[in-house]
Structure 1
């Protein structure tokens, strides 16, 4: 025969555990049931019933009388240390929530971008964003594309700005700008004014390129290989400003995108289009699929391209699609 089921005692107050714990914490803090009742705007008998029910459930005495003041017992002191942070946390939830909601429009914004994007594409956008959102702490993380996607996946950044050739399945890429591929040489270079420039014409001259791990090097190698045109790399060096300086000094020629060419370069460099052989490079916004975009992140994207949110890349809730 099965053992009889012993019914578990049921106390009406257990439907709301917060009330007796709040009454208990106030009684400990004020040392009096009557003062706790006044502080909580309830009757003294109601506080007494809640404390008695709490003692019955826990099977301990929570208070000891010390003169006219109630003091917590050893068990009561332990319960107070556990319950006080919970009660204070719940009681302060409304104010904390309102503070956090108001902080959605401030807070931080972390963006990953490579050096050319930070140097040539973002300055005006960052200036406008800082003027509109002076309360937001904006951090630009200088990272190549592969490192930027790793930062996105770990939520170390909110979004990335740059050029992506192969978009991973877990990321969404919305291209915004396209920049023309250019050959740059010193003004007196034989290729500077050569008519009917062909890809083969570049072969005799050493190229100054960024490191092999970057997209530009891979693109250059791919185009020359596909067209079966030999080429030589005279120098690998990081930074487009350095590359342009070395080209201007006559150390070699280079292949860049028009994003990297400024008005200040026109006196020291000659630029010629290579659009016949090299694809235009797109630059845009990269986000992790399913990631919530904060208001400040959406505002930054809006400054990059006002019509970007009309695309299907972002839904109305601020989460990325596709």
Structure 2
């Protein structure tokens, strides 16, 4: 043989391994098994691996739990890490490679290094305590809301920025009494009458409509988009594709 050893004793019947052949077999067996294992893993690469998903806290709370539960049940050997951050942090994390993809609003048009694919659209809504006076207005004007204490998301929220820009464009004076990134707390403080809130309708559960007065503000704010933001040219394994 190429190694200068005799592997088989062909005189004996049945043919048997020589002592050198037995030693060679013990050395080569782990290598063959490793190659077989590698082939299996390469045949099913979507069943292995790791990736990081970034998302708005509201998306992580309202939209992702069931998706992640189903994914981890189907792909138990894929390590998925979820990071909840506001918009600007998510964009920076995509650009730096800290996350493989982010579920967020579209990046600005000058962000040529990023790719965005739409998932769904959402509406901006007014949330009030049930039976609130604002609910009698048809349609509700933005200046009508300024007569009441406002509860808004934190300064990095895209919806918050749109609301404040619209108020400034109309030179409307407003009073923010509470700002926080936890929408469940925002809804709770609206419910107890601390103020009225303007936010995204994807944060609402069916039961919220029994606790709050909810009115869409389509005549003031156009629909907005949530989608998948990735770094242009970044390799995405099959595990990421399966999650998407």
TM-score w.r.t. structure 1 length? Answer: 0.62
Partner deviation per Cα, 1:141-168 (whole Å, 9 max, x = no partner): 1112222222223322221112235252
Tell me what 2:81 maps to.
139
| Aligned pair partner of 2:104 in 147, 158, 162 | 162
Residue 298 (structure 1) shift: 0.9
Partners of 2:4 and 2:85 lie apart in 1 by 60
2:5 maps to 1:38: yes
Report if aligned partners of 1:145, 1:164 keep a CA contact under 8 Å in 2: no
Which SS does the other structure have where 1:266 is aligned? Answer: helix
Instruction: State how 1:193-232 maps to structure 2 within 5 Å.
Output: 193-232=136-175
| Aligned pair partner of 1:98 in 8, 28, 39 | 39
Tell me what 2:67 maps to.
125
| Count of equivalent residues | 220
2:237 maps to 1:291: no
Residue 102 (structure 1) shift: 4.6
Name whichever structure is richer in strand by fraction: 2
Residue 293 (structure 1) shift: 1.2
Tell me what 1:279 maps to.
222
Residue 37 (structure 1) shift: 3.2
| Unmatched 5+ stretches in structure 1 | 1-33, 42-89, 302-322
What RMSD in Å do the two structures reach over aligned CA positions? 2.7
Report if aligned partners of 1:257, 1:281 keep a CA contact under 8 Å in 2: no
Which SS does the other structure have where 2:77 is aligned? Answer: coil
2:151 maps to 1:182: no
Partner deviation per Cα, 1:224-282 (whole Å, 9 max, x = no partner): 12233332211112210111111111111111111011112112101001111112121
Tell me what 2:201 maps to.
258
1:111/1:263 CA distance change after superposition, 3 Å? same
| Unmatched 5+ stretches in structure 2 | 9-30
Report if aligned partners of 2:51, 2:100 keep a CA contact under 8 Å in 1: yes
Which SS does the other structure have where 2:177 is aligned? Answer: strand
Tell me what 2:22 maps to.
none
- Of the two structures, which has the highest relative contact order with CA contacts closer than 8 Å and spacing of 6 or more? 2
Partner deviation per Cα, 1:35-62 (whole Å, 9 max, x = no partner): x632999xxxxxxxxxxxxxxxxxxxxx
User: Greater Rg, structure 1 or structure 2?
Assistant: 1
Partners of 2:49 and 2:112 lie apart in 1 by 29
